[in-house]
Amino acid sequence: MANDIFNLAADTLWKRVLTHLIEELSELTVMNHFGMESRGISLENQVLTVELPEDKDGKLLLMKFSFFIENALKAADAPDGIELRFVNPQPIVPALTIDNSVAASSKSGAETVLPEMTFDSFVEGPSNQFPVTMARYVATKPGDDVNRTNPLFLYGPTGVGKTHLMHAIGNLAKKINPSLSILYTTSENLLNEYVRSWTSDANKETFRQKFRSVDILLVDDIQFMAGKKGLQDEFFNIFNALKDNHHQIVMTSDRAPKEIPELMDRLVSRFESGICADVDMPAYETRLNILMMKLRSIPGITLNPEVLDFIAQKVTSSVRALEGALSCTVNYARMFPANMSSAVTVEVLEKSVLKNFIAQEDSIVKLTCHDIQKAVCDFYNISMADLNGKSREQHIAIPRQVAIFLCRKFTDCSATELGHSFNRSHATALHACNVINELYKSNDTKIVTALKSIISELGRSISELERRED
């Protein structure tokens, strides 16, 4: 009975923590990273133990979200000094303690790279070939200013493998030269340590030396520096110190440097001074290869090819969602004997096992013409009246054609309906789609840049342009 009470208290506390995490990070982010089935299983001796789904990595969660987790624990009225421990079937990570010292974040393992995240375990495809090539080069020749690969700035939507590539760089660099000092952190952790460092002059100096003395600095989610002037000033000095000493800097973000709001111009120029590589959501073939590779690493489970094909076709929002859908399917398959893989059918997945995943994917796709028109107007700095007006001047006509093209790709509107939405004829709408499609396929720099930026602003991936045939 006592254990049941402890378990109930643990799960109640964890549910409160999740509620605060959702408020800070969004429900989709929390569901993708922590899983719907996570639960508090023990609250004893000032340690809250949380069981995660088997496909979730507690160490990575503590690396990426320790700042938010600490705040959520406090907001949930957790006892002072409580430790949070994540477990799967077996405990896999050390505890994270709420602490006010400058070294507190090191307890989350934030300074280490994850050994399982290597280039060998990363599935390469057309959408990520350039960033993977640059990441390998940086790992073999860190701090190479001659070829201007320092810094390396990896950007793209969430869940496409930017963090994996960052850890792969650290692992390969360490394998080649074990003497290298490599530090991985997130911008949230960086902010956390920066704030703590102001408690004393000694802590300030410790903070500065820690980040300026490493051979390779890996900073995840740099976009969270937006609007934080003090942190940006400090990172500017860290960046310069590392660059001057030919030490490698690698950063990830959900957008290109110049698109991060409230980021100092001098940081933007420095982030762009090396290699900026766009990591996009993989196309269908790559998604299928990812599923096949993941499945090979799971002993005793066989799935029919049409099942993997179905998942690759339906789950397109992120690699993380793709892996989550596979995990749900594998858990369902484990209910049957090894020779009963035929019981896992596309129909069962669609109507039951992956019903929520598919609904979530479908909800993401539902964009309106108005959503797209507004995003295009914001990018090109024109008015809706201009976009839908009669002007044929190029600075208006091109944005209009881009908007029609994107509406054709991301909505269910017919060419006739698109014509009405833009006060144009059916033929004009089709012509606009053809013009932009040809420019995109020919890798026209201005059009490709515009499409990537607008699609990212809409919360989608440019690889989804391939999803619908005109």
Q: Give the pLDDT mean for 284-307.
A: 87
Q: Specify whether the CB–CB gap between 361 and 315 falls below 8 A.
A: yes
Angle at 352 between CA 293 and CA 90, to 5 degrees: 50
The pLDDT, as a whole number, for residue 133 is 94
The pLDDT, as a whole number, for residue 101 is 37
> In this model, does residue 98 exceed pLDDT 90?
no
The pLDDT, as a whole number, for residue 111 is 59
The pLDDT, as a whole number, for residue 6 is 44
Could you tell me the pLDDT band of residue 3, with boundaries at 50, 70 and 90? very low
pTM of the model: 0.59
Could you tell me the pLDDT band of residue 106, with boundaries at 50, 70 and 90? very low
The pLDDT, as a whole number, for residue 104 is 38
CATH architecture assigned to 129-278: 3-Layer(aba) Sandwich (3.40)
Q: Delimit the domains of the chain by residue range.
A: 2-98, 129-278, 284-365, 369-466
pLDDT in tens, 129-157: 899 999 999 999 999 877 789 999 999 87
The pLDDT, as a whole number, for residue 5 is 42
Provide the H-helix boundaries in 46-123.
58-75
Could you tell me the pLDDT band of residue 187, with boundaries at 50, 70 and 90? confident
More confident residue, 110 or 172: 172
**Regarding the domain with residue range 369-466, which homologous superfamily does it belong to in the CATH classification?**
DnaA protein, C-terminal DNA-binding domain (1.10.1750.10)
Q: 191, 223, 227: which is closest to 207 by C-alpha?
A: 191
> In this model, does residue 352 exceed pLDDT 50?
yes
DSSP 403-421: HHHHHHHHS---HHHHHHH
Q: Give the pLDDT mean for 41-70.
A: 81
**Token pair recorded at residue 173:** 């660099």
Q: Specify whether the CB–CB gap between 274 and 455 falls below 8 A.
A: no
pLDDT in tens, 221-243: 998 888 888 899 999 999 999 99
> In this model, does residue 127 exceed pLDDT 90?
no
Q: What angle separates helix 369-380 from helix 394-410, to the nearest 10 degrees?
A: 150
The pLDDT, as a whole number, for residue 108 is 37
- Mean per-residue pLDDT of the chain: 83
> In this model, does residue 199 exceed pLDDT 90?
no
The pLDDT, as a whole number, for residue 234 is 93
The pLDDT, as a whole number, for residue 249 is 97
**Partners of residue 40 on adjacent β-strands:** 50
The pLDDT, as a whole number, for residue 364 is 61
> In this model, does residue 414 exceed pLDDT 80?
no
**Partners of residue 251 on adjacent β-strands:** 153, 219
> In this model, does residue 405 exceed pLDDT 50?
yes
The pLDDT, as a whole number, for residue 22 is 78
The pLDDT, as a whole number, for residue 469 is 47
Topology, domain 2-98: GMP Synthetase; Chain A, domain 3 (3.30.300)
More confident residue, 397 or 224: 397
Could you tell me the pLDDT band of residue 102, with boundaries at 50, 70 and 90? very low
More confident residue, 460 or 451: 451
Q: Give the pLDDT mean for 273-293.
A: 88
The pLDDT, as a whole number, for residue 100 is 36
Q: How many residues does the chain have?
A: 470
Could you tell me the pLDDT band of residue 99, with boundaries at 50, 70 and 90? very low
Question: How far lies 120's CA from each of 180, 235, 251, 290, 297, in Å?
Answer: 21, 32, 21, 12, 13
The pLDDT, as a whole number, for residue 83 is 85
More confident residue, 210 or 345: 210
DSSP 197-239: HTT-HHHHHHHHHHHHS-SEEEEE-GGGGTT-HHHHHHHHHHH
Q: What is the dihedral of CA 208, 210, 212, 214, to 10 degrees?
A: 180
Percentage of residues of the chain with pLDDT beyond 90: 30
